Structure 1
Amino acid sequence: MRLRTGVLVATVACFGLALTGCAGGSTGTPTESTEAADPLGTPNAASGDPIVFGTLDLASGPVTFPEVLAAQQAAVEYVNAYLGGINGQPIKLVTCETDGAPATSQRCANQILDQEPVAIVGGADIGSPGAMPIWETADLAYIGGIPFTPVEQNSPNAVLFSSISTADNAVASIFAAQELGAKSAAVIYTSDTQGTSTAEGVIIPTMKAAGITDITPVPIPPTASDVSSAVATAVGANPDVIYVNTPAACPNVLSSLKQLGNQAQLLGIDPCTSPPAIEGANGGAEGLYFAAPVDQADSGTADADLYVAAMKKYAPADVHLDSLSAMGFQTIINLQAALADFAPEDLTTEAILAAFRDGTDNTNFLGHPYTCDGEQLAGATAICNAYQHMLQVKDSVPGLVSDEWLSPSEYYTPAH
């Protein structure tokens, strides 16, 4: 574990780029990219003393999401170079590496506080329940990011622009029943705290509420190296659909499903559809449906073109443009948009939160408009937008099923 300051910069092309397999986009209308001289716009560099924000980076452990921090850092570079930062002063993002354990996140949170941030930028940290009480005690706003756990989703000082782990799984579960016509399902999930909570608290009850009456839970230990027995259990249940919620084990599970001749329709989570996961699945990801809170990077919208250009300019070449990357980028752009005219002395927690909670249907970069009224997702008062797109992997590339935004509100009820 170490504290890191500053911003990662790399002027390299975005990994290969296979943009049709990336997630990104916006709710705007497509633009003719060829007519734009530069999707990044006209440079307008920030200067002077930086305004410090803190974030946690899940750098080690059973699962990591390096694309989130890379996207946030690339977005910081972009807003400092092209949008004048915040009121002409640059944003500085200070980070601390975590490993998924709440105790480590707690220590990191205290180290971040030593850097005197004006607010916290949400990261992708499954150990965040250890950090959130630190931020709340310090009375710091918590902005955006990847809200994996209920702790972030219900923090009184949090404003979260997209829902992952709850609304996405709920929408996909509803889709399985209402659009695929499933009456039976097997749900394969990692049996750690996060995986069990999502499977038993979101996926399974939402499926039942939407009309799937026969469900076989199939837990897999997070340390399991052989998933064949669990996969055989799922296939042996002869379900209409199999839902895969195993972030670290997606390639093995999907590959094993194919080897066992699975005939059920597949659903899963976004980590199952990253380029490495699809490649590692050896064809097993083909046909998999999943929900995402952002459009694809090849959608041709101004937001998507900007996102891709900024990642190409400022992010490492091997960063995957998946939904989590888009959400990381989204967080910084929304932050700058809401706080652009604030003088440093005016960046109090009360004023910061008010800037996001004011109004309805606020512009949400790469996503459905957000409204921070505490009522967008049942049981998650900090979620400002629960809408999702449904996508499907075809020819090893994720693509939109339709451009409709879907809400889980009709069938999703939080577990008590």
Structure 2
Amino acid sequence: MRTRPSTWRTVAALAAAALVLSSCGADGTDDSEADPGSGGSDPAAALDGPPVRVGFLNPSGGAVPQPGADTGAEAAVDYINGELGGIGGRPIEVVSCDTDTTPEKATSCANTFVEEGVVAVMDGFNLSSSATLPVLKAAGIPLVGMIPFDSVTGAQADGRVFFAGPQAAFLVGALQAFKQTGKDSVVLALVDTPSSHQTIDGLLPLLAEALDMDASGVYFSPTNPNFTALAAAIAKDDPDAGGLMASPNEAACTALVQSLRKIRYDGTIFTAACTDYIETAPADAAGGALYSSTWLPAAMDHAPEEVKADLKAAQDAIEGVDGGTGGFYAYAEFAQFVTFAQALSEVTGELTGPTVLSTLKGLKDFPSFLGPEITCGSKTSPNCTSETLLFEVQEDGTIEPVGGDFLQPALEILGQIPGAV
């Protein structure tokens, strides 16, 4: 993964040289001015007015990184400024701060964002985003994301907006679909972190009881995973479906799929939001399942016509990032930034933290980018939808959504989980 300066200035050489981001310095200073002599065109050159500055909790580092999120964010900045005309004619500018999954680092980033005067902070699937909330709320800066990976962040609605469903919705949706197709037993794995124990030890038993399923979880090391042993643990009692509830990276999915097939596990392999394994191990991929908050390129053949143009635009922008990483996190982060920009495009006057929050909370039946229509502003949930996509891997390597489109997990089940509805 590349190193990158702390602030993305959409200046002279953005199109000619990829932006390079690194962790925010302690003083929060901006060292990201591109070399004016490097050539190329600036997507924001024709935009007037002061930039709309947003923070980004960049999840590229730490024990459980989410590679691709920074690629999606960078591609989205270029797309928003170059194709959408910015936000109300003003360029979007991103102050990026690398996180390492620890609350201490998240808090440090929050303080930097306040110093930098951002009007919102974009949560890049951060496991400790709740640590930013006291600082951000005191400064009147909203936290904006897709899926709250920190269950504390996802448990309440104040000061935050998330455009996709809560974690529980993806798990409930997948388990519902498995149940409906006669799969009554499931074993799912998560990397061994405190938030994972909240999910496996607390949430999974509740869902298993509500759906009348035999569902259990196992853990694996974030630093030294043994996928042969993990595959054996998942397949031990021959469950109808098994795999990863969430994956630390695409390589983990590929390794686990190959290990499960090697020991002749023939159940449905659930690969969280991974897609690279389909190209890496096509013979092993067919019949697998994965979830997503957005449409993905591998589903292009099965996407609605009105989605295909947006999906192609996102694919072109993401593939245009020099040295970038694709996959779910890239497309989800891209969709997050674009939905944010489109939602604020009609706001007149100065954009501040409070106006950003009130505008986003006021969205109703709003067409999110690559996602479903969203309605925000729930008093009990930060999420604007609970709909999810569950894809099945086809023999030809494409992925097709179960039911043809977004699924609605059972609200009576989600209602048992704080912040889910």
TM-score surpassing 0.5? yes
Comparing 107-116 and 229-238, the one that deviates more:
229-238
For 1:121 and 1:184, locate their aligned partners in 2 and report how far apart those are by CA, in whole Å.
37
Q: Choose which of 241, 254, 257 in structure 1 pairs with 2:257.
A: 254
Note closer, same or farther for the CA distance 1:287–1:122 as it changes in structure 2 (3 Å cut): same
Structure 1 unaligned spans of 5+: 14-42
Report matched runs for 1:2-401 at 5 Å: 4-7=6-9, 9-10=14-15, 45-153=46-154, 154-163=156-165, 165-178=167-180, 180-212=181-213, 214-248=214-248, 249-270=252-273, 273-275=274-276, 277-278=277-278, 283-297=283-297, 298=300, 299=303, 301-313=305-317, 315-317=320-322, 319-343=324-348, 345=350, 347-358=351-362, 360-374=364-378, 381-395=381-395, 396-401=397-402
Does the 8 Å CA contact 2:291/2:390 hold for their aligned counterparts? yes
In 1, the alpha carbon distance for the partners of 2:101 and 2:342 equals 31
Instruction: Tell me how far 1:171 sits from its aligned partner.
Output: 0.5
Query: In the TM superposition, what whole-angstrom CA distance separates every residue of 1:262-318 from its partner, at most 9, and x where no partner exists?
Result: 122222310xx231x445567444321122222233236455423433552464155
What secondary structure does 1:89 align onto? Answer: coil
AA aligned opposite 2:316: K
- 1 CA distance for matches of 2:338 and 2:45? 15
Q: Give yes or no for contact 1:177–1:207 (8 Å, CA) kept in 2.
A: no
Q: Distance between the aligned counterparts of 2:393 and 2:206, measured in 1?
A: 25
Partner of 1:18: none
Q: TM-score, normalised by structure 2?
A: 0.80
Indicate the SS of the match to 1:223: coil
Higher relative contact order (CA 8 A, sep 6+): 1
Question: How has the CA–CA distance of structure 1 residues 124 and 313 changed in structure 2, closer, same or farther, with 3 Å as cutoff?
Answer: same
SS at match of 2:53: strand
Contact 2:191-2:222 at 8 Å conserved across structures: yes
Once residues 326 and 365 of structure 2 are traced to their aligned partners in structure 1, the CA distance between those partners, rounded to angstroms, is 25
Describe the SS at the equivalent of 2:254: helix
**Pair 254,58 (structure 1): closer, same or farther in 2 beyond 3 Å:** same
- Equivalent position amino acid for 2:220 in 1: I
Structure 1 44/390 Cα, relative in aligned 2: closer, same or farther at 3 Å? farther
What amino acid maps onto 1:228 in structure 2? Answer: T
Change (3 A) 1:394 1:11: farther
**Percent of aligned positions that are identical:** 24
Residues 174 and 207 of structure 1 are in contact (CA less than 8 Å); yes or no, is this contact kept in structure 2?
A: no
- Distance change in 2, residues 1:387/1:269 (3 Å): same
2:69 aligned partner, one-letter code: V
SS of structure 1 residue aligned to 2:195? helix
Q: Quote the offset at 1:222 in angstroms.
A: 2.4
Root mean square deviation of aligned Cα: 3.0
CA spacing shift, 1:133–1:200, aligned 2, 3 Å: same
Q: CA, structure 1 residues 230+70, in 2 after alignment: closer, same or farther (shift >3 Å)?
A: closer
Does the CA-based 8 Å contact 1:255-1:280 persist in structure 2? no
CA distance in structure 1 between the aligned counterparts of 2:233 and 2:122, rounded to whole angstroms: 41
Distance 1:264 1:50 in 2: 51
Q: Which amino acid aligns with 1:257?
A: L
- In 2, the alpha carbon distance for the partners of 1:281 and 1:133 equals 45
Length, aligned pairs only: 378
**SS at 1:258 equivalent:** helix
TM-score (normalizing by structure 1): 0.80
Supply the distance in 2 between the matched residues of 1:247 and 1:293 (Cα, whole angstroms). Answer: 15
With 70-79 and 380-389 compared, the bigger mean Cα shift is at 70-79
Per-residue deviation, 1:12: 9.9
Distance 1:198 1:216, change over 3 A: closer
CA contact (8 A) 1:216 1:237 kept: no
Shift of 1:371: 0.8
- Between the aligned partners of 2:63 and 2:198, the Cα distance in structure 1 is 17
Report deviation, 1:122.
Answer: 2.5
Which secondary structure state, in structure 1, belongs to the residue aligned with residue 116 of structure 2? Answer: coil
